[in-house]
Amino acid sequence: MSSELRLKKLRGSGGYVMATVTDEQQMKGNLGGPDLFLAPIGRLDADKITKHFCNTCEKEFEGPPKIEFENPNEEVAENLVLAERGQYICNSCNASIAEYREFNKPNEDGEVGSAKPLDPNAVTPTVEATTPTVEATTPTVEATTPTVEATTPTVEATTPTVEATTPSSAASVSSIEGRTVIDENANKIGTAKQVGIDSNTQSMVLVITKNDGTEGSIPWASIKKVGEVVLLGKPDEIPDSQPGKCPECGFVNKDGSKFCEECGTKLQ
């Protein structure tokens, strides 16, 4: 592999830098598209950066941005250590141009195990539906001598909650936001943004901001552990069929339905 340095544009969530990089660094920064990204490469030497662009300033500057980093050497999961975390910062407005995390596996031949719990007393995340159901009690009329008294009907609204099977180290939704998401091979794939519901499957998903700045979602069943990082693993086995699910369009009908309410297919 050639060790020749080439001047390349490396993108971040808040801008980009122009830097000379090796072929190996280009391979790290290539996430499958035409662009190269700064986060997978990590920390570059400042003298290799010729320019930087800040989205907040909407301006390109000569020279490198500020590079701030720390080496916590913190074990975030079994056989996984957060060796370094840092960010590239605009010299003018101090906005973040890009962030990066570097992880090490003390035992390269071993697998990544359970993540370090964020808070053993954390609550199970729940997602609340927006439309409450309304139950009304029938007004009762009581007559005592000539006077007729009627009780005011009461309307009680209950807010349904959607609960999903959570990783064994449970964490609140708010604490998951902003956590680094890494796969079972210790590669960073993005940052947790929020918990949502898939409109097609009506199941819980974790919405993330990918390394390239785009948005994606991960089925909640694919989350192995939640701690300093959100660790992904193989999803739990899910039954192929469920009562009322249409084999054609996947719509989940009410129990006892003979035909799909969505496409009309006959249900077994």
Q: pLDDT tens digit string along 123-178?
A: 444 444 444 444 544 444 444 444 444 444 444 444 444 344 344 333 444 457 77
Span 205-218, average pLDDT:
84
pLDDT of residue 215: 84
Q: pLDDT tens digit string along 19-77?
A: 999 999 999 888 877 889 999 999 999 999 999 999 999 999 999 999 999 999 988 88
pLDDT of residue 115: 66
Q: Are residues 77 and 152 in the same domain?
A: no
Beta partners for 105? none
Decide if 250 is inside a domain.
Answer: no
Rounded-to-integer distance, Cα 222 and Cα 226, Å: 11
pLDDT of residue 113: 72
Q: Are residues 130 and 226 in the same domain?
A: yes
pTM for the predicted model, two decimal places: 0.49
For the chain, the domain total comes to: 2
pLDDT of residue 47: 95
Radius of gyration of the chain (CA): 26
Q: From the centroid of its chain, how far is CA 217? A: 6
DSSP string spanning 9-72?
Answer: EEEETTEEEEEEE-HHHHHHHB-SSSSEESTTT-PPPGGGEEEEEETTTTEEEES--EEEEE--
pLDDT of residue 237: 44
As a whole number, the mean pLDDT across the chain is 75
Q: Are residues 162 and 219 in the same domain?
A: yes
User: Lowest-pLDDT range, 17-21, 78-82, 110-114?
Assistant: 110-114
> What is the domain range of residue 45?
6-104
Asked if pLDDT for residue 11 goes beyond 80, the answer is: yes
Q: Are residues 19 and 83 in the same domain?
A: yes
Rounded-to-integer distance, Cα 249 and Cα 92, Å: 53
Decide if 111 is inside a domain.
Answer: no
User: Lowest-pLDDT range, 82-86, 98-102, 191-195, 242-246?
Assistant: 242-246
Q: Are residues 130 and 200 in the same domain?
A: yes
User: Lowest-pLDDT range, 12-21, 95-104, 154-163, 191-200?
Assistant: 154-163
CATH number at residue 217: 2.30.30.240
Q: Are residues 89 and 26 in the same domain?
A: yes
pLDDT of residue 261: 76
Q: Does an H or E element contain 100, and which? A: strand 96-104
Decide if 60 is inside a domain.
Answer: yes
